[in-house]
Chain A
Amino acid sequence: MAGSTLASPTASVPIAAVRARPFSPGREAWRRFRRHRLALASVVILALMVLMVVLGPLVWRVPINDIDFTARLSPPSWRHPFGTDDLGQDLLARMLYGGRISLAVGLAAMVVAICVGVLIGAIAGISRGSVDAGLMWLTDLFLSLPPLPVLLLVIYLFRDQLKDVFGPEVGVFILIVVVIGGFRWMPVARLVRAQFFSLREKEFVEAARALGASTSRQVARHILPNALGPVIVAGTIDVAAAIIAESTLSFLGLGFPPDIPTWGRLLYDAKDYLDFAPHWALFPGAAIFLAVLTINFIGDGLRDALDPRKVL
């Protein structure tokens, strides 16, 4: 935790040594990130996955909904590298298509959750008194709402309007991202607020304040960068939760139309066939697993790289 580390463990390093190798902050972060081997490998794997889902459908041109009853539940082969499901639809094509949606939903929902969480947490953390109390009441309120019934309500209220404006797929995408993001910002906001409480009393912030830095400058340049470590970790966990939450919604009939194969939906459809067609569940399961794991490692690496007080 940034708040519990000593303020400046690097103070004893001779100033001359730092001057000798002037790194830009970005390069410095990259240098530090590279030291985290797992994070580096994760970046490569995640980049590969993203490339595959973005470019894959251009190369693997099998339609996602081509029903072929003669090839039902066939195991992986050259014709169907990932095998087929029980309607004989090619799983590789469905995985590639579904990956676009699952990854996009996961990342976008995380961005929404982090943005809202950081904003609310930061405002609450820096402004004492009634604003802080009010915002935390709001956070508690959202935490105490039962998510599923509220989701149902929101979706019933706004689904048709969004569909009319953006079309069925984009409309549902926006709705799901907002809804999932809108229900996952509370832990982030609490984390950020707690960090702010501790950081704003630190010497370097006091020094900045003494030098006449405005509140917004204190927050943006001094407190927030130091508070981001735990936020990034929380955000990476949110990606996984968002991918799973999307499949829950699809299962309840509130997410994407049933013929759109997101990873969560593929996994759900496959669950009853686990004992005799394991490939059907293994591939989407492995994809979700890999995506979540790599994003977590990257978050780990990023936290180390961006924490200015950690020596690497």
Chain B
Amino acid sequence: MNEKRLRLLVGRVKDGKMSRRAFIARMLALGITAPLANEMLASGGVARAQERFPYKPTKRGGGGALKVLWWQGATLLNPHFAVGTKDQDAARIFYEPLAGWDPDGELFPVLAAEIPSRENGGLAPDGMWVIWKLKRDVAWHDGKPFTADDCVFNWEYARDPATAAVTIANYRDVTVEKLDSHTIKVSFKKPTPFWADAFVGTRGMLIPKHLFEDYKGDKSRDAPTNLKPVGTGPYKFVDFKPGDMVRGEINQNYHEPNRPHFDSIEVKGGGDAVSAARAVLQTGEFDYAWNMQVEDELLQRLEKGGKGRILITPGGAIEHIQLNSTDPWTEVDGERSSVKTKHPILSDPAVRQALGLLVDRKSVQDHIYGRTGIATANFLNNPERFRSKTMKFEFNIDKANQILDAGGWKRGADGIREKEGKKLKLVYQTSINAPRQKNQAVVKQACQRAGIDLELKSVTASVFFSSDVANPDTYTKFYCDIQMYNTTMTEPDPELFMNQFVSWEVATKDNKWQGRNITRWRNEEVDKAYRAAQGELDPVKRAALFVRVNDLVCSDHAVIPIVNRPKAGAVSNKMRLEISGWDNDLATLKDWYREA
């Protein structure tokens, strides 16, 4: 079925000549999954049936206390300074964005009255601007009304480099103006297919102008409200101990009817993932625990206690192995892994291909990650419309041996292969985390059988993932042959996610290793496809371009994807809630409730 016929069908649904269901059935028959078919309809301007999570409580409050566990505790409560998800989550209790992302990767309005679309005149046909209509009658916790002035202030606050906000990238390249008291217009410098960045999702939470006005710029860190938030969210601030505990009480004037359900909320920080899982699943002391980075085997045993369950939410995070395309052992101009060098061993395609065959993804899924890691051949896995159908993975030691033999790598006396005097020895690093060390052991054993000697190295997570310029063991410096970690996708659009493979994002000493391309792998075709996707307004064509980037990256083995890791949270059996893989865990907090 070609593009033209597809568009014809979408048009028929739009005109009402064909039912949604019939369209989706036809697409399914063609091997296109339901979410993709839905997406095609949405991009064709067909409204989507509302099938949100059913919220049962019929009055506000009365649900008692909600106790949740974040085993990394929040350290501050200003969303513009929130570095990690832990800080964003805590801020999300009190602050809200204009819109959030639901589990299907669709926008849902929070402080916006509606989601902008071409039909309601909110989106420019040329992708140059977007108009947001704000909800009326929303009040900050101190009673002041929420207006367009607050939105404009957030833009001014975040884009000021002196404020040093983490969200500066979301606001730097746009212009925000107030059209009336409850309408704003966001304009872009160039056609922007992905317009839902500023004011949306994890980095789009809004702070009140009247309390932060005096603390813009270099005084930003002195604002007392950085630690005592006043927002529009379902709970009002009560108490905060950094790294330990956040407490809130019900907001009786919340802008949605019958919400929230609970009278108070307590977020406890500290401990580790396993003890958090026990507190929800085994002892039942807590209602919800975030980020279950635990072997599935353990989780299943804990679930047998009958007090709770593990809630799996699909997302785009990918646990993958990166192959260094530069030489990590030679120093050039004061940095190792310099783009001026080539890796002596990994630049040989035979070695990269063999390594790809030596990662037993199926066993890693079956025996280590279970439900919390799905074996995959793709770097870009979700939302489904961006997932390549052509990539396959295989675990085959014999084939790897043949490829290495054919590539001229001969086994030496000690069983380790060598070529032109270079031994096939590689150092393989990752952060310290039990599932990762097991994954390392599995890969090492397979490599041993193929005559590759891997030296394993593990670095404590707070060092490995830090941006400390002085430390040689950080993942961005990549002073190692191969490394493995999980990279997350924070929004359902892959533009930011896939810039990890473009040549202008290479991490170097000059950009203090802030560049996103850590493998230092460069490819002209990828650069071209990526640039084309950036300006492509047709979502179907844009998806195809990102799929092409993924295929180029994976077939050249710049990275070896292992498992796609969905979000996993531990939930008490009485709790009813929905988590989005594209937003913070607490983005849907207003809809959480407990069944009696």
Q: Which A residues are within 8 Å of any B CB, using their own CB?
A: 65-67, 69, 72-73, 86-87, 89, 156, 168, 251-254, 257-259, 269, 272-273, 275-276
How distant is B360 from chain A, measured CB to nearest CB, in Å? Answer: 9
Within B436-460, the residues touching A (CB, 8 Å) are: 437-438, 440-442, 444-445, 448, 455-460
Which residue from chain B places its CB closest to the CB of A268 in the assembled complex? Answer: B434
With beta carbons under 8 angstroms apart, the residue of A86, A87, A253 that contacts B432 is A253
The complex places the Cα of A252 from the Cα of B473 at a distance, in Å, of 13
How distant is A104 from chain B, measured CB to nearest CB, in Å? Answer: 21
> Are A259 and B459 CB-contacts (below 8 A) given A87-B367, A252-B432?
no
Within B451-476, the residues touching A (CB, 8 Å) are: 455-460, 471-473
With beta carbons under 8 angstroms apart, the residue of A87, A258, A269, A273 that contacts B458 is A258
Within B519-544, the residues touching A (CB, 8 Å) are: none
Q: Is the CB of B274 within 8 A of A272?
A: yes
B363 contacts the other chain (Cβ, under 8 Å)? yes
A72 proximity list for chain B (CB < 8 A): 297, 367
The complex places the Cα of A172 from the Cα of B347 at a distance, in Å, of 30
How distant is A8 from chain B, measured CB to nearest CB, in Å? Answer: 57
Q: Is the CB of A259 within 8 A of B298?
A: no
Q: Which B residues are within 8 Å of any A CB, using their own CB?
A: 274, 294-295, 297-298, 301, 363, 366-367, 432, 434, 437-438, 440-442, 444-445, 448, 455-460, 471-473
A69 proximity list for chain B (CB < 8 A): 363, 366-367
A257 proximity list for chain B (CB < 8 A): 455-458
B444 proximity list for chain A (CB < 8 A): 65, 259
With beta carbons under 8 angstroms apart, the residue of A73, A87, A251 that contacts B442 is A87
A87 proximity list for chain B (CB < 8 A): 367, 438, 441-442
Q: Is the CB of A253 within 8 A of B459?
A: yes
With beta carbons under 8 angstroms apart, the residue of A67, A253, A272 that contacts B434 is A272
B294 proximity list for chain A (CB < 8 A): 272
B472 proximity list for chain A (CB < 8 A): 156
Most B CB contacts (10 A, CB to CB) among A66, A67, A73, A254 go to: A67
Q: Is the CB of A258 within 8 A of B437?
A: yes
With beta carbons under 8 angstroms apart, the residue of A65, A156, A272, A275 that contacts B441 is A65
Q: Which 3 A-B pairs have the closest CB atoms?
A: A253-B458, A258-B458, A258-B437
The complex places the Cα of A66 from the Cα of B444 at a distance, in Å, of 10
Most A CB contacts (10 A, CB to CB) among B294, B366, B432, B448 go to: B432
B442 proximity list for chain A (CB < 8 A): 67, 87
The complex places the Cα of A168 from the Cα of B297 at a distance, in Å, of 33
Supply 7 further A-B pairs (C-beta < 8 A) apart from A258-B458, A259-B441: A65-B444, A67-B441, A252-B432, A253-B459, A259-B444, A273-B298, A276-B301
With beta carbons under 8 angstroms apart, the residue of B295, B297, B301, B440 that contacts A259 is B440
Which residue from chain B places its CB closest to the CB of A168 in the assembled complex? Answer: B455
The complex places the Cα of A42 from the Cα of B440 at a distance, in Å, of 39
Q: Is the CB of B434 within 8 A of A259?
A: no
Q: Is the CB of A86 within 8 A of B297?
A: yes
B366 proximity list for chain A (CB < 8 A): 69
With beta carbons under 8 angstroms apart, the residue of B274, B295, B445, B460 that contacts A252 is B460
Which residue from chain A places its CB closest to the CB of B457 in the assembled complex? Answer: A257
Q: Is the CB of A258 within 8 A of B445?
A: no
The complex places the Cα of A164 from the Cα of B268 at a distance, in Å, of 45
B441 proximity list for chain A (CB < 8 A): 65, 67, 87, 89, 258-259
How distant is A251 from chain B, measured CB to nearest CB, in Å? Answer: 7
How distant is A171 from chain B, measured CB to nearest CB, in Å? Answer: 12
Which residue from chain A places its CB closest to the CB of B295 in the assembled complex? Answer: A86
Most A CB contacts (10 A, CB to CB) among B274, B301, B367, B471 go to: B367
B432 proximity list for chain A (CB < 8 A): 251-253, 258
The complex places the Cα of A168 from the Cα of B301 at a distance, in Å, of 38
Most B CB contacts (10 A, CB to CB) among A66, A69, A269 go to: A69
12 residue pairs A–B, Cβ–Cβ below 8 Å:
A65-B441, A65-B445, A65-B448, A67-B441, A73-B297, A89-B441, A252-B432, A257-B457, A257-B458, A258-B437, A258-B457, A272-B274
Which residue from chain A places its CB closest to the CB of B444 in the assembled complex? Answer: A259
Q: Is the CB of A67 within 8 A of B457?
A: no
The complex places the Cα of A65 from the Cα of B438 at a distance, in Å, of 11
Which residue from chain B places its CB closest to the CB of A160 in the assembled complex? Answer: B472
Most A CB contacts (10 A, CB to CB) among B297, B301, B448 go to: B297
How distant is B194 from chain A, measured CB to nearest CB, in Å? Answer: 38
B438 proximity list for chain A (CB < 8 A): 86-87
B458 proximity list for chain A (CB < 8 A): 253, 257-258
How distant is A262 from chain B, measured CB to nearest CB, in Å? Answer: 14
How distant is B275 from chain A, measured CB to nearest CB, in Å? Answer: 9
How distant is A74 from chain B, measured CB to nearest CB, in Å? Answer: 13
The complex places the Cα of A123 from the Cα of B366 at a distance, in Å, of 62
A253 proximity list for chain B (CB < 8 A): 432, 457-460
A73 proximity list for chain B (CB < 8 A): 297
Q: Is the CB of A272 within 8 A of B367?
A: no
How distant is A142 from chain B, measured CB to nearest CB, in Å? Answer: 24
Q: Is the CB of A258 within 8 A of B274?
A: no
